[in-house]
Amino acid sequence: MTLGIQSSQTSSRTARAERFLTEWLAKADIRFNGDRPWDIQVHNPDFYPRIMAQGSLGSGESYMDGWWDCEQMDEMFSRLLGARLDHELPTNWILVMDVIKSKLINRQNKRWSKTVAQQHYDLGNDFYKDMLDPFMQYTCAYWKDAQNLNQAQEQKLDLICRKLGMKRGMKVLELGCGWGGFAHFAAERYGCEVTALNISEEQVAYAREYNRNLPVDIQLKDYRDATGLYDRVVSIGMCEHIGYKNYGTFFEVIHRSLKDDGMALVHTIGGNASVVGMEPWLDKYIFPHAVLPSIRQLSHQMEHRFVVEDWHNFGPDYDKTLMAWYENFVRNWPRHKEKYGERFYRMWSYYLLNCAGSFRGRKNQLWQIVLSKYGVPGGYVSVR
């Protein structure tokens, strides 16, 4: 009798969850078990109450578990996030606890900040080489006049150098250098001397070898430990790992590292609203302790430190970049399948396509911000 009651309650809960989610997704023209490529195909009915209880974390984990599929997941997320429907799900305890932890703890202090390097960026250089371009750029490319990923990433690097008026002999500080692609480009193409800081051991090892014949000094060091004075300071794709408690420190490091007539450029993903933490699934599986800054959070810390010379948003280019990474990932997956396994494949697919959809739906943006200490004499000329 008890088992029958429990089974009936479970069935009723599943039915209620399915009805709610069906009506919810209809607002974005998404159906369960429909015939369009962006419709969700449900393989396990426990999917419905799991989403109601766990939100985005349950969505990602249930996909990794094989509970659902979607032929065109990037478009599904574009419709979902573009309609801002993620805010209409009931608040769950996972999200509440993440917010509390983010407010009580500096999750991006020197000790905690190493987590993302160890979990994500140290995943394997060979894996990333098969997904990225020859410059190993793991940030948004610039697709204006570009026909493919390699051209778009090279244009991004050149765009940064042109925005900063790079010249031979300039001393450049890069905060968070990835695999050393920008340092290599700035040294080889523009004749700059580059000091680059990074806390990922795998990336540092690769970057040192990649730049061994150039005037580039790759240091295994936290950005907060930067020393010296430079003509230019660059940060490409690191601000997402700074954390809202540390934006002031980040901009103070840039300010103290710049000569009085110097300029800086910050290249970062940004959100449309101020938050204190990352979406739970991405935080757990992809970018631990990351958080996307808002205009208000960044501009508040720029006050009394900088003149904002330029603020360029080309967020839709990240959609193209992520889809190009996804194509490379799928094409080269047979080389990595044995090492990483099927669950990793589903996790990585969900990550890349979810993020592509978020930029296509304009939930997330990509900013390049040019800063000077006292203003460029005569005015700064924007470069696009």
What is the full per-residue pLDDT of the chain (384 aa) written as tens digits? 454 555 656 688 899 999 999 999 999 999 999 999 999 999 999 999 999 999 999 999 999 999 999 999 999 999 999 998 776 666 655 555 555 455 545 556 555 456 666 778 888 999 999 999 999 999 999 999 999 999 999 999 999 999 999 999 999 999 999 999 999 999 999 999 999 999 999 999 999 999 999 999 999 999 999 999 999 999 999 999 999 999 999 999 999 999 999 999 999 999 999 998 888 999 999 998 899 999 999 999 999 999 999 999 999 999 999 999 999 999 999 999 999 999 999 999 999 999 999 999 999 999 999 999 999 999 999 999
pLDDT at 233: 98
Return the closest-CA partner of residue 267 out of 198, 186, 167, 164.
164
φ/ψ (deg, to 5) at 334: -55, -30
CB atoms within 10 A of CB 3: 7
User: How many angstroms from the chain centroid is the CA of residue 246?
Assistant: 17
Across 104-136, b (16+ Cβ under 10 Å) vs e yields eeebbeeeebbbbbeebbbeebebbeebbbebb
For residues 244 and 293, is the Cβ–Cβ distance under 8 A?
A: yes
* Catalytic, out of 161, 177, 192, 355: 355
For residues 294 and 366, is the Cβ–Cβ distance under 8 A?
A: no
H-assigned helices in the chain: 2-26, 47-64, 73-82, 93-104, 114-116, 125-131, 149-163, 181-190, 201-210, 247-257, 280-285, 295-302, 316-332, 337-360
CA dist 120 and 289 (Å) reads 12
CA dist 304 and 283 (Å) reads 32
**3-class secondary-structure state, position 71:** coil
Q: What is the DSSP letter of 277?
A: S
**Angle, CA 336 vertex, CA 332 and CA 337 arms, to 5°:** 105
CB proximity list for 321: less than 8 A, separation 6 or greater? 140, 141, 143, 149, 152
CB atoms within 10 A of CB 349: 18
pLDDT at 104: 47
CA dist 44 and 67 (Å) reads 5
Put simply, whether the predicted model's pTM sits higher than 0.85 gets the answer: yes
Tokens 């970062």 sit at which residue? 268
CA dist 369 and 102 (Å) reads 26
- 277 is written with which tokens? 């933490």
CA dist 285 and 61 (Å) reads 9
Q: Does 355 qualify as catalytic in the annotation?
A: yes
**Half-sphere exposure in the Cβ direction for 11 (13 Å, CA):** 6
